[in-house]
Amino acid sequence: MTANVMVVVERQYDYPRPEVFRAWTAPEEMAQWRGSPGWHVETETVTSDLKLGGRHHHVKVRDNDPTTRVTTDAVFTEYFEPDVFVARQRITGDPGIDPDAPLELRVEFTKTGRNGTLVRIVQGPYDPTVAGYHSKGWELELDRLETYLAGHRNREVPR
């Protein structure tokens, strides 16, 4: 089949845009939450040159089988902190993604209310047979982001 499906996922957070944007882009923060349940990002593999034309790299590893690894290499084609970033990605190790066909990842951060942020992810193109699986993966990762942000806020608030 032809890869022609874009996955679109949105989630509302009760945290300010700069905080949510930083969680997505700062390597030390991203490594804390990225990956669906049962996966983790190897902290030492995360690199990001946070600018237009900058490169990004990370490796996700299956918790119960460390030999199962998915590598993402990307270049930022847009980078406007804290509003949006777009990256052209090559993903290897995921059987549902052709490593020779680049994907585009667009993540938008829209201010809502006083201190809220709407995150909108658009990624693809995917083969229609795997698009739903990757959409669900993003939903699960965004759950982990919520947990990370809640814990991060609790550490920063003086008691």
Please report the pLDDT score of residue 157 as a whole number. Answer: 39
CATH number assigned to the domain comprising residue 49: 3.30.530.20
Model confidence over 85-114: pLDDT tens digits?
999 999 999 988 999 999 999 999 999 999
Distance CA 11, CA 81 (A): 19
Please report the pLDDT score of residue 19 as a whole number. Answer: 96
Model confidence over 24-52: pLDDT tens digits?
999 999 999 999 899 999 999 999 999 99
Structural tokens at position 55: 């490169």
Containing domain of residue 101, as a range? 5-156
Across the chain, mean pLDDT equals 93
Please report the pLDDT score of residue 3 as a whole number. Answer: 84
CB 5 within 8 A of CB 127: yes
Model confidence over 104-141: pLDDT tens digits?
999 999 999 999 999 999 999 999 999 999 999 999 99
Number of structural domains found in the chain:
1
